[in-house]
């Protein structure tokens, strides 16, 4: 959520104290049911409710959407695979426990849970429930905030790098990973690491081994593993133009080496009245779009053979994504973009 640092969604400003030295506090809409004067970490539980599994007749056996076809014994009875808590996608529900702050100062908004984080988690859950696309992959959660999306991915991905900037936010991420360790699949590896978008990649302070390493510092093998990542996710990191510039700078480094990499970016379009425009505008959103060539499905299929190098984005239809996480109001301002880095539109 904090990404490379600086800026704030400024969702619900709360003025504390009264002295000029007091930092302005902001509160996410997700926390409206929490005690506003609560100081320090707060624990919330987010219920993930999956629909009942659909069993279909496939050939000579029964199959479940998104799962392997079941076998039958000599009497024609189903042979059902034994489930484990970590890998079973058939569970109707589970609970994610998140430590967060109810309010925070502007530089520490990554300590809160934001709506874009939850809608992106819904999208990831939908992909995991209906396909095997995320099974066994390496994934990166950029500006992870509380780490919720990365932890959801760890139910399918083999390696997840949960990244953000600053020891306080990263420490909170690490705490949340510990609180939810029972939800990840048994082969999942999760790393909480510092990734400052304003600094070069790979970072200069890479350790050679994991012995006596500093907290949240990369080692050589992890950098090599991250470079193999096929999936990147980021939520609610578009609210400051300088931060957006830094994001796309690091994205170009991470994604330009392999055109199979994809980023799913969730955001909330925030509208403000500005004197420059004399209108209510979403300048942060407009600045984001300046980095993208937006396409739709028709353009992807019929695009002319033109040379293009840069980021290509496509909006995800949220009406097709069920709300699996119950404790938030999705509203109309949330959006998810699928983004790729291409050198020719033949690779859309």
Specify the CATH number for the domain of residue 100.
3.40.50.150
68 with 124, same domain: the answer is: no
pTM over cut 0.75: yes
**Contact between residue 268 and residue 330 where contact means Cβ atoms under 8 Å apart:** no
At residue 45, the 3 state secondary structure works out as strand
Q: What is the model's pLDDT at position 89? A: 46
Domain final residue pick, 62, 87, 112: 87
Specify the residue for token string 């170009």: 252
Domain membership of residue 3 (yes or no) is: no
The distance in angstroms from the start CA to the end CA of the chain is 28
Domain membership of residue 7 (yes or no) is: no
Helices marked H in the chain:
115-130, 148-153, 167-179, 220-226, 241-255, 283-289, 297-302
The arithmetic mean of pLDDT across residues 120-126, rounded, is 98
287 with 142, same domain: the answer is: yes
Domain membership of residue 1 (yes or no) is: no
184 with 259, same domain: the answer is: yes
274 with 217, same domain: the answer is: yes
Q: Considering only CA atoms, which of 233, 223, 243, 342 is closest in space to residue 292?
A: 342
188 with 63, same domain: the answer is: no
Domain final residue pick, 61, 87, 113: 87
Residue predicted with more confidence, 54 or 7: 54
135 with 172, same domain: the answer is: yes
Q: Which domain holds residue 75?
A: 52-87
Whole-angstrom distance, CA of residue 167 vs CA of residue 171: 6
Q: Which two tokens stand for residue 61?
A: 């056996």
Tell me the sheet residues that pair with 67.
none
Into how many domains does the chain fold?
A: 2
62 with 174, same domain: the answer is: no
Quick: pLDDT tens for 261-310: 999 999 998 655 444 543 444 567 889 999 999 997 556 544 444 567 89
61 with 149, same domain: the answer is: no
């Amino acid at each position: 959520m904090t990404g490379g640092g600086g800026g704030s969604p400024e969702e619900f400003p709360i003025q504390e104290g009264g002295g000029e030295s007091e930092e302005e506090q902001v509160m996410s809409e997700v926390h409206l049911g929490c005690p506003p004067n609560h100081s320090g970490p707060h624990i919330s539980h987010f219920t993930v409710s999956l629909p009942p599994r659909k069993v279909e007749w496939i050939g000579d056996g029964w199959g479940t959407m998104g799962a392997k076809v079941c076998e039958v014994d000599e009497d024609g009875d189903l042979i059902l695979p034994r489930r484990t808590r970590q890998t079973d996608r058939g569970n109707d529900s589970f609970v994610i426990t998140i430590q967060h702050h109810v309010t925070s100062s502007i530089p520490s908004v990554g300590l809160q849970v934001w709506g874009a984080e939850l809608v992106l988690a819904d999208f990831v859950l939908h992909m995991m429930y209906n396909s095997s696309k995320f099974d066994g992959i390496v994934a990166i959660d950029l500006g992870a905030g509380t780490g919720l999306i990365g932890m959801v991915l760890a139910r399918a991905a083999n390696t997840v790098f949960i990244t953000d900037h600053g020891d306080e936010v990263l420490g909170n991420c690490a705490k949340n990973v510990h609180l939810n360790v029972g939800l990840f699949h048994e082969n999942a590896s999760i790393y909480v690491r510092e990734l400052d978008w304003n600094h070069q990649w790979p970072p200069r302070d890479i350790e050679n081994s994991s012995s006596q390493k500093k907290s949240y510092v990369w080692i050589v093998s992890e950098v090599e593993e991250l470079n193999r990542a096929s999936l990147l996710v980021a939520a609610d990191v578009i609210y400051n133009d300088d931060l957006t510039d830094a994001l796309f700078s690091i994205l170009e480094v991470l994604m330009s080496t392999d055109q199979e990499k994809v980023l799913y970016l969730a955001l909330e379009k925030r509208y403000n009245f500005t004197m420059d425009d004399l209108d209510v505008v979403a300048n942060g959103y407009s600045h984001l779009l300046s980095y993208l060539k937006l396409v739709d499905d028709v353009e992807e299929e019929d695009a002319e053979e033109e040379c293009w190098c840069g980021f290509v984005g496509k909006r995800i239809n949220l009406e097709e994504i069920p709300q699996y996480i119950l404790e938030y109001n999705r509203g109309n301002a949330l959006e998810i973009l699928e983004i790729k880095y291409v050198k020719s539109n033949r690779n859309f």
